[in-house]
Amino acid sequence: MKRSFFIILIFISGMTSLGLEMCASRLLGAYFGSSLYIWAVLIGLILIYLTTGYFLGGRVADRYPSERVLCLITGSAAVATALIPFISQSVLSWSVDAIEHISVSAFLGSLLGTVLLFAIPVTLLGLVSPLAIRLVTSDVKRSGRISGSLYAISTCGSILGSFLPVLWLIPTFGVRRTFLIFAALLFAASLWGLWQMQPRPLWRPLAVIIQATLIGTLLMQLGPLKQIPNLIYHQESLYNYIQVVQQPDGTRQLILNEGQAIHSVYYPDKTHVLTGWYWDYFLAAPYFNKGFTPDKLHRVGIIGLAGGTIAHQFTQVYGPVPIDGVEIDPAIVDVGRKYFDMNEPNLHVHVQDGRPYIATTHETYDEVVVDAFQQPYIPFQLTTKEFFSQVRSHLSPQGVVTLNTGHTQTDYRLVQSIVATMSTVYPSVYVFNVPNTFNTVVMATMQPTSMETFRAQLSQVDPSTTLGQVANEVLPVVQKGQPGNGVVFTDDRAPIEELTDQLLLSYIQGQP
C-alpha cells in the first residue's frame, strides 16, 4: 500500500481519537455538567481504552500484518463512532430520570454506560499505530525513525482533532453531526484503502452502502440534543447547550446544559418583576447601608448575566441605573436579546469571563452580583479570596457583593466555605436561605453593618411596592454569616467541585 495512504489514515485516526474525546465532553456536559470529575472520568477511561488498543494492536500486528486488517479496524471504528449519537440519547435520558427519581445506582450506571459507548471506537483506534508501524517497517535499523514519524503524524491529527470540534464543528453543526463527520472521514479513508487492494466483490457494494448511509445521516434532521417539554429554541454554542422553553402563558425560561436549573426567566407582562426565586434577594442588598435610598444606587455589576433577568429587575426597581452585565457566552447574549427582551438601554453587555473583567475594569460599583453557574458548579475562580479582593477594589465605600450558592437540608459546608472566604475580605457577611429551595444567597458589605440596620431600613419601605414585597421575602430569613469550619477558598486551593459533588451525591442518594 502507498506510504501516502498510511500518512492519511494515521492522521485521520489520531484526529478522530481526540475529536471523540472533545465531543464526548460536550455530550456528557448536556446531561451531567462539565465538572473536573466528569473530565477526570472521561479522560481516564479514554486513556484506558487507548492503552488496551495499543496492547492488542501489538499482538494483532504480529499475527495479522495485513493492510486489509488495518482498514477493517478503522472502518469498524468509524461505524462504532457513527452509532454513538443514536444510542447515547436514550442512555442519557435514563440518567435524567434517575436524578428525578433519586436513584444513585441508575444515575451512576447511566453515566458509566454512556462513557462505555466510547470503548469500542477508541480501543479500535488504539490498534492503528502499532499495526501501521509493523506494516511500514521493513528495516529494523529504521524502525525508530519510522515509529517516531508515525506517532508524530498521529499526534498532529490529534492536535487538529482537539481544535476543530471546539472552534468550528460543534458550534456550526452540533455535537452529534460532529461525531458523524469524523465517522464519515475515517470510513472514507478506510474505504479508499480497501479499494486499492482489489477487495472481494462483496466488499465494494457493502462499503459503498455504509459510506452512503454515513453521508445521509449528515443530512438528517436530528432534532434537539435533549427532548424536553415546551422547547422553542436550542443551540450548541462554544460553551453551552442552550435551551429556551415557553410555558402556555408565554413565560420563557433559559435552561443550559443538563437542565437541572433555570438561569433566566421572562414574563410577557412587563410589570411582572419578581420571580419568587433567589434573584429577588439581590435587590435588597444595598439596604444594609444606613441611610440608603434608591437614588444612591449609582452602578451595578452582574457577573453571570445569562438572559438578563437580574438586569431587568434592577432597571424596573431602581430606574435606568447603569448596569455592566458580564457573560462569557456570546450565544447566550443573543438568546437573551431575542427571547428574553434583554434590551434595556442602561445595560452594557461585556462578553468576557467574569474574573478577567473584574481584574481589568475601571468602574466602581455599589453592588456586584455573582450569579455565574456551570450548573451545579460555581466556577472556582469566582469564589476565592483573591477574587473577592479584586471585587472589593471595585466597590464604592457603601458597596455590597452578593453571590448565590447551595446546600441540602442538613449540609451547609459549601455555604460555610463561601462565608469563611468572604469573611477574610469583608467585615460583615450575611446569609439568606431561600425557602423551599436549595439556594443560599450570601451578601458581604464594604463597611461594618448590622442586621438591625437592614431590618429597620427595609421595614420603612412601602409594602405595596416591589421593594416592599422583596422585604417580605428576605427579612424573615436573613442571618449573620457563620463560617464554622468552612474552608477558605484560594486560587491555589478551592475544592468547590468536591463539596458540590458531595451535596449532589447526598441528594441523589435521598439523604437530607
Catalogue the active-site residues: 371
Q: Other C-beta atoms within 10 Å of 156: how many?
A: 15
Residue 145 in grid coordinates: 525513525
Ordered DSSP codes for 115-142: HHTTHHHHHHHHTHHHHHHHHH---GGG
Kind of pairing, strands 241-246 and 252-256? antiparallel
Residue 327 in grid coordinates: 457573560
- Alpha helices in 271-412, H assignment, sequence order: 309-318, 330-339, 354-360, 385-392
Give the CB-side neighbour count of residue 108, counting CA atoms within 13 A: 8
Q: Other C-beta atoms within 10 Å of 190: how many?
A: 26
Rounded distance between C-alpha atoms, residue 298 and residue 384, angstroms: 26
Rounded distance between C-alpha atoms, residue 123 and residue 203, angstroms: 24
Give the CB-side neighbour count of residue 429, counting CA atoms within 13 A: 21
258 and 31 Cβ atoms separated by less than 8 Å: yes
Q: Of 256, 245, 258, 387, which Cα lies nearest the Cα of 329? A: 256
355 and 388 Cβ atoms separated by less than 8 Å: no
Describe the strand order of the beta sheet including 323-327 as a list of residue ranges.
347-351, 323-327, 300-303, 365-370, 395-406, 439-445, 428-433, 478-480
| Residue the block writes with cell 475515517 | 186
Q: Of 4, 1, 10, which Cα lies nearest the Cα of 135? A: 1
| Residue the block writes with cell 456550526 | 172
Q: Other C-beta atoms within 10 Å of 56: how many?
A: 17
The dihedrals phi and psi of 448, each to the nearest 5 degrees, come to -60, 125
Q: Cβ neighbours of residue 109 under 8 Å, at least 6 residues apart?
A: 98
Identity of the residue numbered 56:
L
Reduced to 3 states (helix: H, G, I; strand: E, B; else coil), residue 193 is helix
